[in-house]
Chains A and B, each alone.
Chain A
Amino acid sequence: MNIELVLFGVFAVMTLLSAGLVITARSPINSAMALVSTFFFLAGIYVLLWAHTVAVIQVLVYAGAIMVLFLFVIMLLNLGDAPHRGKPTVTRLLGGASAVGLLAVLGVTLGRMDAQPARLDAQAQAAFGTMAAIGQSIFTTWLLPFEAVSLLLLVAMVGAVVVAKSRI
């Protein structure tokens, strides 16, 4: 019963709770806020996984950039509460059921496996998940994908402008 487990428990529960809020909240605003909190708690879990860098990026990019974008849009379109929760059509029921079913299956599967974190020596542990290490591999091994992604972002930017413009 160590501190780490406790932290994990707290974060996990909070994550799930806020995620639940995301998918249940009537108004998009609430969902968005819940999503932000989800991201924060996830960032915490990342930290528990020794992924500091990603945790930071998560907070910066997701909670910072993306969610702000969402909120802007929501406000731009000023959507009030959804007047009605979508009527339960066959496809919706099926979809929901399959999601639940998938959860069950995954649960069973994962329940059968016992995976433990790797044991790392101090020096490796020190390097693990640091900005340096990630930057190292991104700019050497994964340089090409990285450039591709940067290109992708550019394209996305232009595309977003083009798609969303009323008229230029």
Chain B
Amino acid sequence: MVPITYYLLLAAALFCMGMFGVLVRTNALVVFMCVELMLNAVNLTFLAFARMHGNSVGHVSAFFVIAVAAAEAAIGLAIVIAVFRSRGSVNVDDIRTMKH
């Protein structure tokens, strides 16, 4: 029997790595992938708790999260393409037009 704590620790680590990537990487695509990482960390937490309580609502949540992730990826990537069209770069440093 693996203690749920391990899973949670794993999820935490995963989440923080994702976060790290989001905050540090400059390539918009990579940032997106890191976001996916974070989402997965959350999923993992859901499932861990589901297992912990022997209750499958966590699975449903995970399912929804995946669906939302799909939508998010679609839109996000579309935006990336649009941005790339207009600026020829996907570097977040170059995309800061929404300032004062």
Residues of A near any B CB (own CB < 8 A): 2, 4-5, 8, 12, 15-16, 19-20, 22-23, 25, 28, 31-32, 35, 38-39, 42, 45-46, 48-51, 53-54, 57-58, 61-62, 65-66, 69-70, 73-74, 76-77, 79, 82, 85-86, 91-92, 95-96, 98-100, 102-103, 106-107, 110-111, 113-120, 124, 128-129, 133-134, 137-138, 141-142, 145-146, 149, 152-153, 155-157, 159-161, 163-164, 166
What chain A residues lie within 8 Å of B95 (beta carbons)? none
What chain A residues lie within 8 Å of B63 (beta carbons)? 53-54, 57, 134, 138
B60 to chain A minimum Cβ distance, whole angstroms, is 5
What number of residue pairs across chains A and B have CB atoms under 8 A from each other? 245
Q: Is the Cβ of A160 less than 8 Å from the Cβ of B60? A: no
CB < 8 Å neighbour of B23 from A51, A99, A114, A129: A99
Q: Is the Cβ of A16 less than 8 Å from the Cβ of B13? A: yes
Q: State the 7 A-B residue pairs at the shortest beta-carbon distance, nearest first.
A: A95-B23, A118-B54, A86-B26, A23-B21, A156-B71, A103-B16, A164-B78
Contacts known (A16-B13, A51-B50, A106-B16); A114 close to B3, Cβ less than 8 A:
yes
Q: Is the Cβ of B48 less than 8 Å from the Cβ of A49? A: yes
